[in-house]
Amino acid sequence: MPTKSIAFANQKGGVGKTTTVISLAACLAEMGKRVLVIDFDPQANCTSGLGQEKLEGHSVYDALLNGQPLTPLVKPTPYPNLDLVPSEEDLAAAEVDVARVDNFLQRFQTAVAPVRTAGMYDFIFVDCPPSLGILTMNALVGVDRILIPLQCEYYALEGLTVILRLVEHLRSSGANPALEVEGILMTMFDSRTNLSHQVVEEVRKHFQEKVYRAIIPRTVRLSEAPSYGQPITHYDKHSAGATAYKSLAREFLKRQTAEAQAAAAAAETAPAATEPAPAAPPAAPA
Ligand SMILES: Nc1ncnc2c1ncn2[C@@H]1O[C@H](COP(=O)(O)OP(=O)(O)O)[C@@H](O)[C@H]1O
Ligand SMILES: [Mg+2]
């Protein structure tokens, strides 16, 4: 399977982007998939959530701005199969600095290309900042897919419409014609409130199978895990949060398999359609 890159994006902060990147990446790594997480947020929550230090000069900043390769920035984590390109505060300057350089929207696409073609990873996850600024746009131009974590709250659908409009724009403008939605994940679900149930129902009604069956509950353990610098699957592997992210990981991989099978079936039928028509039989002798 070629490397698949996915940006985890939503212009709202606090909806579970970083938690989902860390937790899903950790689950997939535990299942034997090779995952590279790229922290694209100057707040560096993904970096600290994986127990890594923020170090000056060790973010994607140089790769975006000076065209330096991404590969030397990749750091191993304590978790097998899981690597990280960390972030730090300096990345905030990229929002301003990258906007001034040529091809500013394609900067990440160029930087990540060698990592993709090396085939070292099954998945590259990009943890986007909570805005639709230059950094998020760069991520969205450079990836195959977007995964949208959506908090179970009243304005969820409005926020979703905004980000989907941007996806459509990136496609139609030619910035990333192949960009697709990988999935929509409902987060911070509180089973005791009617609102949570209503929001899930409403989002499912509009986006059907794009919405993962797995739903992430709001739990204290999930909110504690980052302060210990551990993914939930290590911090408390039997917790409801860990269980939810593990079932998301299984569903996520099932979708990959289904997609690969559909692609293989399409490839099998495609050449037949373009093959030249069989030559006409020789005319019968008169
Ligand atoms: N399902 C959850 N239940 C409880 N707290 C959560 C959950 N998901 C995330 N959090 C906490 O909520 C805050 C925001 O989550 P985060 O993943 O950082 O969101 P984002 O990256 O979208 O800003 C963090 O403190 C995080 O630990
Ligand atoms: Mg975040």
Which residue has the CA at smallest separation from atom 23 of ligand 1?
14
pLDDT tens digits for range 217-267: 999 999 999 999 999 999 999 999 999 999 999 999 999 999 999 999 999
CA of 127 to the centre of ligand 2 (A): 7
The pLDDT value recorded for residue 23 is: 98
Ligand 1 atom nearest to CA at 10: 22
pLDDT at 185 over 70: yes
Contact 126, 35 (CB under 8 A): no
Tell me the average pLDDT of the chain: 93
pLDDT tens digits for range 45-99: 999 999 999 988 889 999 999 888 899 999 999 999 999 999 999 899 998 999 9
The pLDDT value recorded for residue 233 is: 97
- Which among 19, 151, 184, 222 is the best mutation to test ligand 1's pocket, defined by most ligand atoms within 8 Å of the CB? 19
CA of 16 to the centre of ligand 1 (A): 4
Ligand 1 atom nearest to CA at 45: 18
pLDDT at 286 over 50: no
Contact 240, 221 (CB under 8 A): yes
Task: Note the ligand closest to the C-alpha atom of 11.
Answer: 1
pLDDT tens digits for range 88-139: 998 999 989 999 999 999 999 999 999 999 999 999 999 999 999 999 999 9
CA dihedral sign, ordered 12, 127, 145, 174: positive
CA of 141 to the centre of ligand 2 (A): 19
Is residue 15 within 6 Å of ligand 1 at its C-beta?
A: yes
CA of 6 to the centre of ligand 1 (A): 19
CA of 75 to the centre of ligand 1 (A): 24
Is residue 17 within 6 Å of ligand 1 at its C-beta?
A: yes
Q: With cut-offs at 50, 70 and 90, classify the pLDDT of residue 181.
A: very high
Place of tokens 């998020």: 136
What is the value of pTM for the model shown?
0.94
Burial (0-12, 13-18, 19+ Cβ within 10 Å), 283: exposed
Is residue 128 within 6 Å of ligand 1 at its C-beta?
A: no
CA of 283 to the centre of ligand 2 (A): 72
Ligand 1 atom nearest to CA at 15: 22
pLDDT tens digits for range 140-176: 999 999 999 999 998 899 999 999 999 999 999 999 9
Contact 205, 235 (CB under 8 A): no
pLDDT tens digits for range 34-60: 999 999 999 999 999 999 999 888 899
Give the span between the Cα atoms of 36 and 56, in whole angstroms: 20
Task: Note the ligand closest to the C-alpha atom of 221.
Answer: 1
Q: With cut-offs at 50, 70 and 90, classify the pLDDT of residue 273.
A: low
Query: Cα–Cα distances in Å, from 230 out to 70, 114, 222, 243, 252?
Result: 24, 29, 10, 15, 21
pLDDT at 269 over 90: no
- Which among 87, 223, 248 is the best mutation to test ligand 1's pocket, defined by most ligand atoms within 8 Å of the CB? 223
The pLDDT value recorded for residue 67 is: 84
Is residue 223 within 6 Å of ligand 1 at its C-beta?
A: yes
Q: With cut-offs at 50, 70 and 90, classify the pLDDT of residue 17.
A: very high
Is residue 78 within 6 Å of ligand 1 at its C-beta?
A: no
